[in-house]
Structure 1
């Protein structure tokens, strides 16, 4: 098994392994170690279907439902369809675009967001449709000591909601209201395995900072979001059919592509997420649910 880094701070490709076959414990341990070190790892030329995708995921943890708001595959409830025209992309008006627009960490509106996400490509466009990831541990480390000390004790409110400056479809709004999730997380969480401090600021879900005036909250969030997605903290992956991306959802944010909407190309991916822990802040305080139930296994 070969682990080849693809950028300085995040991302590595792993070769010499077939995810369609059961992995031995040494392979599992080495992949997990690479995941913790590089935050997202990529595999090419993998021949997975829904059943083998779920089986591969179970070697690393317990799958969640495909998506706690939008549901999963009828026959494989652990699988979520990441299609070009899925409900989550059903915008009737374009969002106001900022440098951090679209960046997110999966399901941080839940009390216990997924720990890891495993995405496989099926149908890919001939060009475009790349996905990007950002290392939120490095993002925290590169803030000034003064700002780090200020945000270490702050908390933020995460929830599913209509994108600012846009109007979503009625189906999207109905799903969100039926499975309303609102959670207060630390702005800086401590990674449960590496001990790293992580800038836990998912732009798509983090709405406000507890205890700050609205303008103070917005100004600080925009500063942190802009910093978190700096290009030198990121990696960009070029997909082809049969690729798998496996990322640590506790230490990264990612950006789904919007350039494919300017083309007629189709794009069909499938995702499995694994159960995660309730985040804990620098002060030892755990996240608290304000609305909705924790994620349970599929």
Structure 2
């Protein structure tokens, strides 16, 4: 009998890519729960809807009563992707971020505590560490938490809840913290999809501030591979940083996309910098590399071309 995973947020960008990866590279069966808010796209799930190893339940992880419908069996693991994740939205209204990212995570931890799952992987973000200066070394797992916006603060709060349940109850819990993902199926409001789609349509491309904010970019399938390794070999109570060796300024990312599409840099329009805009993220992934044997396999140049090709084919205007 196949082992069964509960994936939360599987209609979203990373969650849907993870489900696709797992169905193609393992024997796991999957139950996917997603509330199908603006960030969840039913089309993302179409490729695996007909699989006999997959089922979907519409459910909000912050709704304790409705969540019970998903726990009609014991799972091998919960993989918690479900999260509000857009920084700008969190600045305008942090309420849904607190509700989903903290209360929702708490509800899942309660399920593990009551024996509904053998383990849980909390999918977090490098943004919980705050911001780096240009000369600072990359974040390591022991870097202090210093979130600078409501989104990253809500994710840090969820991570601390996970830690507390491990320390108090000795539950089999693991946290992963990844850099900025890009690839197929990402929501159009995010930086790279917006840049690609605006370039394809000859629309202006917004660039915050001086454009020198640095992010560590990772192709989404490399992230999925890392989570799979953590699922199979990760140690309970540990944190694993996942990075792509892809530090680039926002301006460099835009220039790379415009060059590959063959559009002019004149499309770029500088706009006022946003509040709480962290200057630089960088990830040291030595731990997951040495302990689990993972490292990124897709370069930024290769990954961004794959991403552009996908949006050219599946562009949703």
Tell me if TM exceeds 0.5.
no
Structure ranking higher in helix proportion = 2
**Which one has more relative contact order, counting CA pairs under 8 Å at least 6 apart?**
1
Structure whose residues are more often strand by fraction: 1
Compute the TM-score of the two structures, normalised by the length of structure 1.
0.29
